[in-house]
Amino acid sequence: MTAKTWAYEDFVEGASLDLGTKLVSAAEIVEFASEFDAQPMHLDEAAGKASILGGLSASGWHTCAMFMRMLCDAFLLDSTSQGSPGIDHVKWKKPVLAGDTLSGAVTVLAKRQSKSRPQLGLVSMRSELFNQRGESVFELENTGMFLTREAAA
pTM: 0.95
- pLDDT, one tens digit per residue, over 118-149 is 999 999 999 999 999 999 999 999 999 999 99
Q: Domains in the chain and their CATH numbers?
A: 8-152 (3.10.129.10)
Q: What is the band of 4 on the pLDDT scale with cuts at 50, 70, 90?
A: confident
Which H helix or E strand runs over 46? helix 45-50
**What distances in angstroms separate CA 39 from CA 43, 50, 92, 153, one per listed residue?**
7, 13, 16, 47
